[in-house]
Structure 1
Amino acid sequence: MKPVIGCLGAGRMGRGIAVVFAFAGHEVVVVDFKQRERSAFDALAAEAAAEIRSTLDILARIDLLRPELVATIADRIRIVPRDEAAAVLPRCGVVFEGMPEILDLKRTALAEASRLAGEGPIIASTTSTILVDDLSGSIEHPNRFLNAHWLNPAYLVPLIELSPGKLTAPDVTARMKVLLEGIGKVPVVCAARPGFIVPRIQTLAMNEAARMVEEGVASAEDIDKAVIYGFGFRFAVLGLLEFIDWGGGDILHHASRYLAEALGDSRYAAPDIIAANMRDGRIGMKTGQGFMNYEGLDQAAYRERRLAAFASALRAMGLAREPVA
């Protein structure tokens, strides 16, 4: 039997997570954890239910859901006021906290929720900024607490970044991974560091794009076109570290040194691990070792699989052309 999923907070993240789990056949309880007058709650619940239904309608229109299933999936989601938290949270297998990104507010909500939920449920914060160990002190059972960072829109983006804390039990992280994989998501585990993985990378990329507009390098439209049809196209198939190995860490080393000197900014310098890999002969595919291990791999077949994935992406973008006879 699928566990009941709790969403603490009836905002955008809670609604998105509710859609994901209801889509996968789970009963979901969204708890509006802010104390409100009944009339205010009724208005919020109606708004949340309408947004959830609208999201499901969109998924049907873009062929991710059969239209006749929209009502069935929507009916799996209940939105309840704070007064009902004590009754519903202990029934949940996992509770996802999605309160606003305010440290004290999250700590207060997590303390109360963990007390009401009891020893059973795993509790996960969906915070995009606050470290797990800055929150775990509020939890009555910190061994069952971790961060689970979803990327918006939660009902479409596959990735979820899991960040266990110092006190998180290993089996809790393992159980969360199994749960998420079971609903078609792709969880990754990262250390408790600011920015997780994706926000840390995308912050650099977004700031650099804005800086290029500021410097007059190109128009905003052309920069975004370059990202979509070059950067994004390539890295939808190859991971960043895989791409370093594909071309060779030596290429990155020399390119980084040139950019740092030409632009007069050390932010373009390669990290020490690139030089260390070169020193140790871990340049990438051509040496059999890089960030990944390619020893024993049929590299020709591997490259062809990756090129086939590029070709599929090209066709999906409507850019594949027939050859001129």
Structure 2
Amino acid sequence: MTDATQIGHVHVVGAGRMGQGIALAFAFAGLRATLIDFKERDAIAREAFARSALDGIARQLHAQAALGRITQQQADEALSRIDIVDRARASSTLGQARVVFEAVPEVLDAKRDVFAWLGECADTRTIIASTTSTFLVTDLQRIVTHPDRLLNAHWLNPAHLMPLVEVSRSDATDAGVVSQLVELLKRIGKTPVVCAPSAGYIVPRIQALAMNEAARMVEEGVASAEEIDTAIRTGFGLRFAVLGLLEFIDWGGCDILYYASHYLAKEKGERFLPARIVSSNMHESRKGLLDGAGFYDYGDVDTAAYVKSRLEAFGRMLEHLGLAPVFNGANVPSGADDLAATNACGATPASA
């Protein structure tokens, strides 16, 4: 199997928003990307679509240039690495492709057509990564030749900016295919995580619960949409950018979550009952950091150094966002120009 470091060109079937974002992610990192417009069009419509797609990608690059992240020359260079071709033109060159991302609409028949075409045109060793957010890899492996080379690679929008890519494999997926795709994604600066074939992957599943709960609070009159979103931006979201959800449970102790969950379940319904593993950890004295074990094992961890590093990261993030506590801030007139200058460098809250 080809080493991921030797891959210099990827193919993306489906030239819509997600396909464009994936192509841009690779081109931005220095690789070539071929976008394949899989839909049948006449010559005029095909040319118009390709022009529109390239214009959309160019706008994303120009936005990065306007923000000072790249120069206009770098934007032009990245754009030059992307080609848009139709199905007929791609058929003659696809045999050389090492990795193909499938990004057509979330319709099983559309994906079946793509996989059948890839079965005819691509090499049997070509890695096929579906970007679906709807179908499990186990479902798709039933409609593809050589199912061992198929996995799902779920990108978050906007694909060219969001670091995370959720890679979902099944027992039938070749381990080498998984490792090669993971290394390729790391090469372009992404953060891949591997998960089992389960509806919602990781982020969408957690996200759906959180978003619906926020909507319920609006329904119940708990707070306005603006107040809830402020709470998320300046409370919920900040902490979990430094500590993951399970790490956060260990940090505070799962006993806190255990008792809070039972209280909320009594007041708001059984959906708040603690997960079985939370109850097990609670009863087995695996409550987290203070017990030396929880979802993570802290037996060989320098706890003081670990806590210090997390607090430092949290403090840096607050400083960057202009949200860090200001030393003597209550004594500075509101709106004073030197307010930021009084901010203690590296100041952190008492707890994360």
TM range (shorter): over 0.9
> Which of 267, 283, 287 is matched with 1:283 structurally?
287
Deviation readout 1:213-252 (Å, 9 max, x if unpaired): 0111000001011111001011000000000000001110
The answer to whether the 8 Å contact 1:5/1:94 transfers is yes
Indicate the percent of aligned positions where both proteins have the same amino acid. 50
Question: Any residues of structure 2 matched to 1:266-281 within 5 Å, and which?
Answer: 266-281=270-285
The residue type equivalent to 2:12 in the other structure is: C
Q: Report the CA distance between 1:191 and its aligned residue.
A: 0.4
Q: Distance in 2 between matches of 1:257 and 1:320?
A: 33
Equivalent pairs counted in the alignment come to 324
Question: Match of 2:281, as an amino acid?
Answer: N
Contact 1:59 1:65 survives alignment (8 Å):
yes
Q: State the AA in 1 paired with 2:39.
A: K
Structure 1 residue ranges without an equivalent (≥5): none
- Normalised by the size of structure 1, how large is the TM-score? 0.97
Following superposition, the deviation at residue 321 of structure 1 comes to 4.3
CA contact (8 A) 2:128 2:150 kept: yes
Give distance in 2, aligned partners of 1:114 and 1:158.
30
Matched, 1:190 2:191: no
Q: Which residue of 2 aligns with 1:312?
A: 316
Paired residues for 1:72-111 under 5 Å: 72-111=77-116
Structure 1 outlier segments of 4+, above 3 Å: none
Correspondences of 1:58-137 after superposition (within 5 Å): 58-137=63-142
Q: Report the secondary structure of 2:290's partner residue.
A: helix
Q: CA deviation at 1:168?
A: 0.9
What's 1:160 paired with?
A: 165
CA displacement at 1:115 relative to structure 2: 2.1
After TM superposition, give the deviation of residue 92 of structure 1 in Å: 1.8
- 1:9 aligns with 14
Higher Cα radius of gyration = 2
CA-to-partner distance for each residue in 1:58-83, whole Å, 9 max, x for gaps?
12222332222111110100000111
Q: Which residue of 1 aligns with 2:148?
A: 143
Q: Quick check: 24-33 or 87-96, which moved more? A: 87-96
CA RMSD of aligned residues (A): 1.2
Q: How do 1:238-249 residues align onto structure 2 when only pairs under 5 Å count?
A: 238-249=243-254
Q: Secondary structure at the match of 1:69?
A: helix
Matches for 1:14-53 after TM superposition, within 5 Å: 14-53=19-58
Secondary structure (helix, strand or coil) at the match of 1:135 reads helix
User: Matched residue of 2:129: which SS?
Assistant: strand
Q: Secondary structure at the match of 1:179?
A: helix
Compute the TM-score of the two structures, normalised by the length of structure 2.
0.90
CA contact (8 A) 2:156 2:164 kept: yes
Note if contact 1:4-1:91 (Cα within 8 Å) is conserved in structure 2: no
Alignment of 1:153-302 (within 5 A): 153-263=158-268, 265-302=269-306
Q: CA separation in 2, counterparts of 1:197 and 1:79?
A: 32
| Separation of aligned partners in 2, 1:64 and 1:172 | 33
Question: Could you give the per-residue CA deviations for residues 174-202 of structure 1, whole angstroms, max 9, x where no partner exists?
Answer: 00111011111110010001110000000
